[in-house]
Amino acid sequence: MNYLSLLFILAGAFFNYCHHSAESTPRHNEMPVQGAQKVYCERSYTNFAWGYQHNGIYLDPEGNLYSYSYQRSDKPWSPKEEAAPTEPELEDKYNHGKKFIRKIEAQEWQAKLNLLTEASEGQMSKRKQSGADMGANVCRCYVLDATKKQYKQVELRVQGDWSYENLAPSAKELADWLESLRASAEKK
């Protein structure tokens, strides 16, 4: 009799756990609520042709805009999974010559984050070779997958030796915005 009671208690606890777990887990392509979501967005330049060059601007989850720049002697950033880095790996990427530029207004940052849902589902254009030894100018965002504790990369635009872009209109808008932030940061 004790085993039967214990079995019912364990079965009830298991079903209760599964029910609550399913409610709090986002569906495969569903973007979690932005207020609870951690997102980094960047516009970067990388080139290995004449010594390692890697620099750019990025926004942290709070909307703080920073620049970063690796020295030629710095070890190239290499996460275990390039398309799914962890938070410490992203922090390491951006912790080279890091300089605060400004804080983005909360409404503006939230409006740009809202573009990620469509952009994350966008199709990529065909890759075209545009040159050699030009490196790559990249606009992308990283969205935290809390269940895996890794960031999912959402590519927006790549220009350089090889060029391609995310065809979602929201991806173009977000990439253009990141390009404008980079241009304004370079003027300062």
- Does residue 139 fall inside a structural domain? yes
Structural domain boundaries, residue 111? 29-187
- Does residue 19 fall inside a structural domain? no
Average pLDDT of the segment spanning 119-147? 94
Kindly state the percentage of the chain with pLDDT values over 90: 66
Whether residue 173 has pLDDT greater than 70? yes
Give the pTM. 0.78
Residue-wise pLDDT for 138-171, tens only, equals 999 999 999 999 999 999 999 999 999 999 999 9
Q: Do the Cβ atoms of 38 and 175 come closer than 8 Å?
A: no
pLDDT of res. 33: 39
Residue-wise pLDDT for 77-119, tens only, equals 999 998 899 999 999 999 999 999 999 999 999 999 999 999 9
In order, the DSSP letters of 5-39 are HHHHHHHHHHHHHHHHHHHHSPPTTPPPPGGG--E
- Does residue 53 fall inside a structural domain? yes
- Does residue 23 fall inside a structural domain? no
- Does residue 105 fall inside a structural domain? yes
- Contact partners, residue 71, CB within 8 Å, separation at least 6: 96, 97
Instruction: Assign 174 a pLDDT band (cuts: 50, 70, 90).
Output: very high
pLDDT of res. 149: 92
Per the structure, the count of domains in the chain is 1
- Does residue 68 fall inside a structural domain? yes
* Of the listed ranges 35-44, 85-94, 121-130, 152-161, the one predicted with least confidence: 35-44
Which residue do the tokens 């979602």 mark? Answer: 168
- Does residue 82 fall inside a structural domain? yes
- Does residue 83 fall inside a structural domain? yes
pLDDT of res. 137: 95
Mean confidence (pLDDT) of the chain: 83
